Amino acid sequence: MRSNPCKTTRNKRKFVRLLAVCLLALVAAAMTPYLVSARPAPANVIRVAFASPDLGTGVSRAELVCGSGFSVGGTSGDGRSFAGRSSLAGGTVFVVPAGGGVSVQASNGEVLASSGAGEALSLRSAGGNLTLRCGGKEYVCPGFLEFRAVGGALQVVNAVERETYVKCVMSTEIGSAASRETRRAFSVLIRTVPMGQKHASNGFDVCATTCCQVYRGIFRRDAENDAIVDSTAGEYVTYEGAPIHCLYHGGNGGASCSSVAAWGGPEIPYLKSVSLPEDADNASEVWRYEFTQSELFDFLSSRSKFHGIRGGVESVRIEETDPEGSGYVTLLSVTDGDDNVFEVATSEKIRTALRFKSANFTVSYSMDAAVAVAGGAVEQVAVTQYVGADGETHAFESFADCPVAGADAVADVDRIAFDGVGTGHGVGFSAVGAEQLVEQGYSYKYLLQFYFPGTKISKLA
């Protein structure tokens, strides 16, 4: 059954705007090694880190609030099961590193519970959820919280039942604006992500940021999305029997980027470029950045990849694009006024270096020229081409002055434009494309297998 086209388009645009904020997920520098192997999580409990010194996000103190009281103890089952040993009255407590272990204190500093050096301490609510405040943020957490001292700071991990985790992430990664089938697809992807155990060496499966997936406890969790998660309970995406690495983005302009183009490394069969023309009228899909020559120099000088640029900018050139034909730029060169050449390779490094919405763009140069129009009037218009000495029309390829055929003058090129499409890294599942497929009547299972070719949807016991 097809959705109402008008309603779907409005929802899609709202959805992509939200996605651009939430899903610049999965594009950290550590992504390339993460794409090497994946394995299923050993249990139905997901360990999610709110804070970890190993990732540079450790905290010096955490505040816990629970009116019904706390159960205090340790963990078993690889940190996925709570083993209570004592209880504390309801109220507010503070957790701090102390003596190589962890100390739970009252507001007056009285020590209420503690762990030995190198040992973790876990707390859960005697009834309901725990409110956690740490790192300047507040979370309302299901499951239990584990605290461990690492290098003098706290690692804070929430151990939460798998399906509950999926329901919580739905609110932050997709919300409720997208179609039901797109959200069903997302629920399967969200469930698959922690199975890769990206941060297993750090003592947890995933973190709570865009490095993995944004998790804020039960924040904005709603009944509609809960029902959608229930409809796909236990389903996850596999390739040759192993969970895939789930990558998703707002939109790509018509063809997804291959993982090789985005990060380099070996080819991943299910993360190849997939073509599907996307809505060119979607304002979230099409973008432009325009600079004068001096503005471009100032802009590039502020970017770390181009530190050392001198004497202005002579040219910006696209040297290579995705070999699979998506259009994403994979090698960009910048030549400065002293003929120094700066190169950036792989589309994600290019996107990060330029801080553009995506690396799917073209480059064009222009200048203002006096052109005769109807009635004999002369107007200043932007031109992007010139007639060379060979009598042929050529596009400007740099800021260098170009001799104009038949005139004792040169073309004074002074502007550059980057015209692009898409948002995010462009690899894997496209939110915009998914909505278009849903409009055509396709199900969430088709969406997943379309964007991750050769994969299957498996089901956990």
Task: In whole angstroms, give the CA distance from residue 440 to residue 438.
Answer: 5
In whole angstroms, how large is the CA radius of gyration of the chain?
27
Query: What pLDDT, on a 0 to 100 scale, did the predictor assign at position 402?
Result: 67
pLDDT tens by residue, 107-157: 999 999 999 999 999 999 998 899 999 999 999 999 999 999 999 999 999
Give residue 415's Cα distance to chain centre.
31
Q: Which tokens hold the place of 121?
A: 């301490």
Q: Which helix (H) or strand (E) holds 316?
A: strand 313-321
Task: In whole angstroms, give the CA distance from residue 259 to residue 23.
Answer: 17
Q: Which tokens hold the place of 118?
A: 């190198």
Give residue 323's Cα distance to chain centre.
23
HSE-up of residue 142 (Cα within 13 Å, Cβ side) = 18
CA distances, 369 to each of 157, 294, 296, 399, 400 (Å) = 62, 19, 21, 15, 16
For tokens 């969970």, name the residue.
243
Task: In whole angstroms, give the CA distance from residue 182 to residue 442.
Answer: 10
Q: Which tokens hold the place of 127?
A: 């009834």
In contact, 40 and 191? CB cutoff 8 Å: no
Q: Which tokens hold the place of 403?
A: 């001799």
CA distances, 102 to each of 62, 116, 120, 121, 149 (Å) = 11, 7, 7, 7, 6
CA distances, 47 to each of 38, 124, 229, 350 (Å) = 16, 14, 19, 33
DSSP labels, 234-285: TEEEEETTEE----EESB-SSBPBPHHHHH-SS--GGGS--B----TT-TTT
Angle at 24 (CA atoms; ends 22, 51), nearest 5 degrees: 75
Query: What pLDDT, on a 0 to 100 scale, did the predictor assign at position 369?
Result: 75
Q: Which tokens hold the place of 422?
A: 């898409």
Q: Which helix (H) or strand (E) holds 97?
A: strand 91-98
Query: What pLDDT, on a 0 to 100 scale, did the predictor assign at position 8?
Result: 39
pLDDT tens by residue, 345-375: 999 999 999 999 999 999 999 988 777 777 7
- pTM flag (> 0.85): no
Residue 230 forms beta bridges with which residues?
none
Q: Are strands 429-430 and 101-105 parallel, antiparallel or unpaired?
A: unpaired
Q: Which tokens hold the place of 236?
A: 């996850």
As averages over each run of 10 residues, the pLDDT of the chain (461 residues) reads 38 45 37 45 81 95 95 88 93 95 95 94 93 96 96 96 96 91 96 92 93 93 96 96 91 94 95 85 80 96 94 96 95 96 97 96 88 74 74 83 59 89 94 94 98 96 77
CA distances, 232 to each of 166, 188, 198, 225, 226 (Å) = 11, 7, 23, 11, 10
